Amino acid sequence: MASLCDTMRRQILSRAFYGWLAYCRHLKTVRTHLITLVYPIPIEMNERVDKHLSLTIQSWTELFLDKQNENLSIDKKEIYRRIYAGGCDSSIRKQVWPFLFSHYSFESTNDERIEIDQIITDRYNKLINEWQNAEETIIKLDIQRSNCSKNSTTYLETNQNSNETIISSVKNILTKNLSSNPHSLQQKDSNISNEVFFEESPIHTVAIPIQEETNKSTIAYNQAVLIARTHTESVIDRSSPYNIIETDTDDDDGNLNFKTIEDNNETIIPEQDDEQNEIISSASSVTSTTDVYMDAVEILNDEQPNGSLTPIYYGSFSKETVDTFSTNLHRIDKDVARCDRNYPYFMNSKNLKKLRNIMCTYIWDNLTIGYIQGMCDLVAPLLVIFDEEVITYSCFCHLMKRLLPNFPNGTGMDEHLGHMRSLLQILDSELYEHIHHTGDFTHFYFCYRWFLLDLKREFIYEDIFLVWEVIAAARRTVSKRFVLFIALAMMKYYRDIILDNRMNFTDIIKFFNETAEKHDAQEILRIARELMLELQKLIDNK
Amino acid sequence: MDYAYVFKYIIIGDINVGKSCLLLQFTDKRFQSAHDCTIGVEFGSRIVNVAEKGVKLQIWDTAGQEQFRSIIRSYYRGAAGALLVYDITKRTTFDHLTMWINDLRNYSTSNMVIVLIGNKCDLSDRREVQKEEGEAFARDHGLIFIETSAKTAVNVEDAFIKTAREICNKIDDGVFDLTNEMCGIKIHHKLPNENPNTRRNSNPNQTSGC
């Protein structure tokens, strides 16, 4: 009996010991995996977060507008704290969001903000000008290709007017009947390269975008087929804060190379460069040098029926740039046309046009990244709030700095999914065990879209505004990755349904697909803040 | 409706070939031209009648853009059927088929039944890929071939059901190891708390013909 008791005692002790050991290991997991997720701030700060707190019109006036008028410093922590607790009043979002999305800083003066606006506007206009030039080139290229493949005779007989008609019709197709943008496209049609490219001279056209009056005298329209192009630096401003990835698409060739396809009758056009520069970057302030040089034009592989060759026109851009942008443009057009068409704002084609402009500008500036599906989703809520291109563009650029790593090829998504695993393990071990035991679940892929789009597709628009501003404010108060806690809250909210129905991986993906846009955002955010507090306490008690 | 098996399908193919539209036409019998682009994977299901058995098709719809391909691959595993879709009005989507087939062979279970779908056959005036080319490709790679239109619903039903029938045949031949979950086929054990809320379920008997 005594020995039995002894054995029991020992067993109890050893179990307690192993239990304690497991707990220690558990806490170690918390520390190593999650300590970086939350800011080491006093918990009281978080506990002061009141359910009924939010950034109302009145508190915005007191905390910002009044202070600004009196040139007093602004208590941005208090502003963030209120937004984190309950979001902003919808009527002041347009004023607050530029701060939340880092377009302005709360330390800036009114004059500084005006200056920032001016800089970004100039930059936006410059970029838009550049890509619209490239778009023109693409349109012309398309016309040329289709003309070549269809009927070369028709092409040769085509006169100026009908070309304009074709251009505008192609443009319409490309922009998916979006209302035309008043500034730039039309005016460029008239003065850039139509005349040159569609020059009556039927075959050996000099395909250079210049005004013919000035150059007719200097250029010999003969056997040489030339094309002007610029280094891609001309379109990538390395000093810009908006370039996330350094783009390096320099051509191998040196500057001012002059090549001809047919080696007899070489032509050199020295006056070309200045003219060229002006046209390419008519938005002035080109920050980097534009190296224009002449390069051989590509010849269409399939010869014309009459045996002649037609130059492919790349305008002032490299073939790579034009081709890449053309592919991207196509994708952008497809996605813009189908972006949130059920939301009233995007039923208006003018607004789709704005969305397209912003998207194209961003992609033009980040051509190496290229358009990836989902980007339109991220522009959309910002555009709805601002209803204005430049500020939306600027905020989107800042947003993408944070979200781009989550897109394919980045490491952000794996990190998020890994954190999600650790967090669930710590904060809801029962649910974690269930998920762990239902097989092919280890990757938490059902969260993929949540993280890629910052939950944009999971909530209705009104709620997405709230969710996004809370995430942005959380970055300045509690965690850089608050989206994880919202994701966790989504799981917590439905945990009983998941557990009771013994849902497996497939069931859960299906479940969250079907409940998209049906979630109670307020409640989920409340749970997320609670979970955040729980983790902070856990880490603090280590 | 009761069912004996659950088959997991995956729909793959280039961007904008109509993958999501095929799924929507099959599950909801409607066509939506302005459909949000698919991010990662999306999901649909429907119970159909194949060889006098009810079969629940769990269909995973995937993003077509090449950047998403690595995440898509993780869903190949454990699929019994694949619908490989191209657009008959766009030659490049046909040219990429070999790449998709290689991908499937490398990342999926070996007994997967693959159906090659030439979609958008309602746009025959803009056709760039002839039906014979599709047939030849399918023959060379041992695939089932069918041309469909997600818009007019032509052959959509057939595409899904032919695949299911082929999988059923393979089950009868004992090709699949049904004890392995990774084969993409589950025998349905009726649970008392089975949740019949699959709103996408619809009449399984209706078929359409080209």
> Residue type at A17?
F
Q: Does one domain contain both A79 and A118? A: no
Contact yes or no for A133/A321 (Cβ under 8 A): no
Taken in order A516, A512, B107, B50, the sign of the CA dihedral is negative
Tokens 């454990």 correspond to B78
Q: How many CA atoms lie within 13 A of A111 on its CB side?
A: 1
| Predicted local distance difference test score (pLDDT) of residue A281 | 37
Question: Which of A408, A430, A449 represents a domain boundary (last residue)?
Answer: A408
Q: Is the ipTM of this complex over 0.90?
A: no
If one counts every other C-beta atom within 10 angstroms of the C-beta of residue B170, the result is: 17
Query: In this predicted model, which residue has the larger pLDDT, A446 or A280?
Result: A446
In chain A, what percentage of residues exceed pLDDT 90? Answer: 48
B192 located within any domain: no
A527 located within any domain: yes
Q: Structure pTM? A: 0.75
Phi first, then psi, for residue B187 (nearest 5°) are -80, 130
A104 located within any domain: no
Residue A157 has pLDDT above 90, yes or no: no
> Residue type at A27?
L
| Inter-CA distances, A242 with A390, A393, A397, A440, Å | 13, 10, 6, 39
Q: Does one domain contain both A418 and A514? A: yes
User: Mapping DSSP to helix (H, G, I), strand (E, B) and coil, where does residue B12 land?
Assistant: strand
Tokens 């039944």 correspond to B113
Number of domains in chain A: 3
Q: Does one domain contain both A371 and A338? A: yes
Q: Does one domain contain both A414 and A536? A: yes
Interchain pair B63, A373: CB under 8 A? yes
B70 → chain A, closest CA residue? A408
Q: Does one domain contain both A396 and A378? A: yes
Q: What's the CATH number where A385 sits?
A: 1.10.8
Q: What is the mean pLDDT of residues A316-344?
A: 92
- On chain B, the residues whose CB falls within 8 A of the CB of A510 are 43, 45, 58
Of the candidates B16, B58, B67, the beta carbon closest to that of A506 is on B58
B65 touches chain A (CB under 8 A): yes
Among B206, B189, B207, B171, smallest CA distance to B81 is for: B171
Phi first, then psi, for residue B198 (nearest 5°) are -65, 95
Q: What's the CATH number where A414 sits?
A: 1.10.472.80
B74 touches chain A (CB under 8 A): yes
The string of pLDDT tens digits covering residues B152-163 is 999 999 999 999
Number of domains in chain B: 1
Residue B89 has pLDDT above 90, yes or no: yes
| Predicted local distance difference test score (pLDDT) of residue A443 | 67
Interchain pair B39, A514: CB under 8 A? no
Tokens 């995973």 correspond to B60
The string of pLDDT tens digits covering residues A203-262 is 333 333 333 333 433 333 333 333 333 333 333 333 444 443 333 333 333 333 333 333
Of the candidates B39, B45, B195, the beta carbon closest to that of A453 is on B39
Q: Does one domain contain both A435 and A355? A: no
Distance (Å, whole) CA A178 – CA A188: 19
Mind telling me how many Å the CA of A457 is from chain B's nearest CA?
10
User: Mapping DSSP to helix (H, G, I), strand (E, B) and coil, where does residue A314 land?
Assistant: coil
Q: Does one domain contain both A383 and A422? A: no
A490 located within any domain: yes
Q: What's the CATH number where B178 sits?
A: 3.40.50.300
Distance (Å, whole) CA B82 – CA B167: 11
B69 located within any domain: yes
Using pLDDT thresholds of 50, 70 and 90, give the confidence band for residue A25: confident
Tokens of B53: 């058995």
In chain A, what percentage of residues exceed pLDDT 70? Answer: 66
| Predicted local distance difference test score (pLDDT) of residue A37 | 83
Residue A377 has pLDDT above 90, yes or no: yes
B199 touches chain A (CB under 8 A): yes
The domain of B102 spans 5-187
Q: Does one domain contain both A473 and A396? A: no
Q: What is the mean pLDDT of residues B120-135?
A: 96
What residue ranges in A154-301 does DSSP mark as E strands? 226-230, 292-296
For chain B, give percent helix, strand, coil, nearest 5.
Answer: 35, 25, 40
- On chain A, the residues whose CB falls within 8 A of the CB of B195 are 501
B205 located within any domain: no
Q: Does one domain contain both A357 and A467? A: no
| Predicted local distance difference test score (pLDDT) of residue A30 | 66
Residue A172 CB partners (closer than 8 Å, separation 6+)? none
Q: Does one domain contain both A429 and A328? A: no
| Predicted local distance difference test score (pLDDT) of residue A143 | 87
A205 located within any domain: no
Tokens of A437: 């035991």
For chain A, give percent helix, strand, coil, nearest 5.
Answer: 60, 5, 35
- On chain B, the residues whose CB falls within 8 A of the CB of A338 are 33-37
Mean predicted lDDT score pLDDT of chain B: 87
Mean predicted lDDT score pLDDT of chain A: 75
Q: Does one domain contain both A464 and A395? A: no
Q: Does one domain contain both A349 and A423? A: no
> Residue type at A331?
R
Interchain pair B15, A457: CB under 8 A? no
The domain of A397 spans 109-148+313-408
